[in-house]
Amino acid sequence: MGPWQDSVQPHRNRVLAHTFSRSMLAPVPIASLLALVLVACSATETTSSTSRTSRPAASAPLAVLIQNTSDNSNYAVLLVSSAGRVVASVTARPRSLRTFYNPGVCPEPRTCHVVENGPVAVPAISASNSRVFYLDGDSDLFSVKPDGSKAFVSRLPGGPSTIVGFSVSPDNKRIAVSVMELTTSFEAPAKLQLYVEDLQTARHHRDLSSSTSPTQWPVGWRGNTLVLAVGDPVVGNFGRNPYGASSYRLIDSVTGKSTADLACVDGPLVAAGSACYADQVSPRRVGFESWEGLKTMLSGPDLGPAENPRLSGGPLLSPDGTQMAAAAKGNFPSQAPQVVLFSPAGESPTNVRAFPMGWLDSGHLLTDYCCPTDLRVLDVRTGVSVSVVASRRLDLLRFLGVLPPGLD
């Protein structure tokens, strides 16, 4: 992976973004970059698990949230509109805790072996263009629509030492499934089976991978391409993204052939790619990696050293790739963080003191702060934010993405 390109500069109301590929090819022409953004934001989207066919323009995106309970007795799936309304919600049983064997958790030169029960990092939901699919328990797959109607879909593989990850194609026709058999000792590796089949009938089954490492699970679709999270299915990497991913791998859903690897893993995945810090440059900046493996660094002030950053948490990339949101630390420990926006023009503070959770679209950002919980939708164009109103207490929330997912 090559070094980060220098920061971009605005010119004549256009974004002049210098990008680069892993193979250090010449910078991509600006016309090609703008074409990518226009395709991602087009009202006529092309999403299909077998071919990229056009579909009608989608309604306003809905944020997909997971709400856990303090005793882990159940969890809820919430769909939230940009107007600050919970349009649908459903509760389900969580997965069972899993036993994991973790060798070498102590600093060198010591060696520690730990056996613990822990929650599963692999997401229990997947959004298509029209509904959200979620697990009830370890293997029962249900769906819920924005009108609140729910339905049983199928039963996925499961077992006391098995974790299943899944992603339904945007058109509801195909499902990608990763079945991970956890290790039962410190020496035995985890086993992985990855396959794709028809959602309703399980026909046209195609095995894509069978191995012992690394563990990976599907988290999205881009046409015929599957987006896989790579990492630990139990411990996960929730501090940086909602999928527990340490990196991403793109594979062909027909052949299983890997087409790209992405190292940027901050925040939810969006049409423009994935965000991260540009730690290899000085001073430190925020940037993002596109689906083609190109890295773009946004301009702005120094973010401070990695061991004492000026920002709290990671940056979140907008779907159109033109800006990023982050939380700037307060001037003193008890002061709430401030949502700031980064763009090619620099850094812009907002009047919202909270943590950004995720983008509904390129104009609306969901934010949250506790305590007490204050879940809000910020219109980044006007600076106006509205509180999310619900009949339930909104705490222990996690942003999983949007409906429709719009990764194409």
- Indicate if the pLDDT at residue 385 is higher than 80: yes
User: pLDDT digits over 210-245, tens only?
Assistant: 776 678 999 999 999 999 999 888 766 667 899 999
The whole-number average pLDDT for the span 159-171 is 90
- Indicate if the pLDDT at residue 24 is higher than 70: no
Q: What is the average pLDDT score of the chain?
A: 80
Q: Is 192 a domain residue?
A: yes
Q: Is 129 a domain residue?
A: yes
Range with top average pLDDT, 95-99, 198-202, 276-280, 386-390: 198-202
Q: What is the pLDDT of residue 381?
A: 95
Q: What is the pLDDT of residue 70?
A: 82
Please indicate whether residue 343 or residue 283 has the higher confidence score (pLDDT).
Answer: 343
Q: Is 288 a domain residue?
A: no
Q: Going along 17-92, which residue ranges are E strands?
A: 62-68, 75-80, 86-92
User: pLDDT digits over 37-55, tens only?
Assistant: 333 333 333 333 333 333 3
Please indicate whether residue 148 or residue 71 has the higher confidence score (pLDDT).
Answer: 148
User: pLDDT digits over 175-196, tens only?
Assistant: 999 998 876 665 555 788 999 9
Q: What is the pLDDT of residue 345?
A: 85
Q: What is the pLDDT of residue 28?
A: 36
User: pLDDT digits over 53-66, tens only?
Assistant: 333 334 789 999 99
The whole-number average pLDDT for the span 6-18 is 38
Q: What is the pLDDT of residue 113?
A: 53
User: pLDDT digits over 361-382, tens only?
Assistant: 999 999 998 766 789 999 999 9
Q: Is 158 a domain residue?
A: yes
Q: Is 150 a domain residue?
A: yes
User: pLDDT digits over 65-104, tens only?
Assistant: 999 888 888 999 999 999 999 999 999 999 887 776 655 4
Cα 46 to Cα 55: distance, rounded to the nearest angstrom: 7
Burial class (CB in 10 A: 0-12, 13-18, 19+), 35: exposed
**% residues pLDDT > 90 (the chain):** 53
- Which residue, 345, 321, 319, is CA-closest to 33? 321
Burial class (CB in 10 A: 0-12, 13-18, 19+), 363: middle
Cα 390 to Cα 394: distance, rounded to the nearest angstrom: 7
Q: Going along 182-330, which residue ranges are E strands?
A: 191-198, 206-211, 216-222, 225-230, 247-252, 258-262, 266-270, 273-278, 285-289, 295-297, 311-317, 324-328
Q: What is the pLDDT of residue 197?
A: 97
Q: What is the pLDDT of residue 120?
A: 78
- Indicate if the pLDDT at residue 280 is higher than 80: no
The whole-number average pLDDT for the span 337-363 is 93
Q: What is the pLDDT of residue 168?
A: 98
Please indicate whether residue 127 or residue 119 has the higher confidence score (pLDDT).
Answer: 127
Lowest model confidence (mean pLDDT) among 27-41, 93-107, 120-134, 204-218 = 27-41
Confidence grade of residue 32 (pLDDT, cut at 50, 70, 90): very low
pTM above 0.75, yes or no: yes
Q: What is the pLDDT of residue 158?
A: 80
User: How many domains does the structure of the chain reveal?
Assistant: 1
Q: Is 378 a domain residue?
A: no
Lowest model confidence (mean pLDDT) among 38-52, 112-126, 208-222, 306-320 = 38-52
Q: Is 144 a domain residue?
A: yes
Q: Is 399 a domain residue?
A: no
Containing structural domain, residue 230: 95-262
Write b or e for each residue in 152-185: b if 16 or more Cβ atoms lie within 10 A of its Cβ, otherwise e: ebbebebeeebbbbbbbbbbbebbbbbbbbbbee
- Indicate if the pLDDT at residue 13 is higher than 90: no
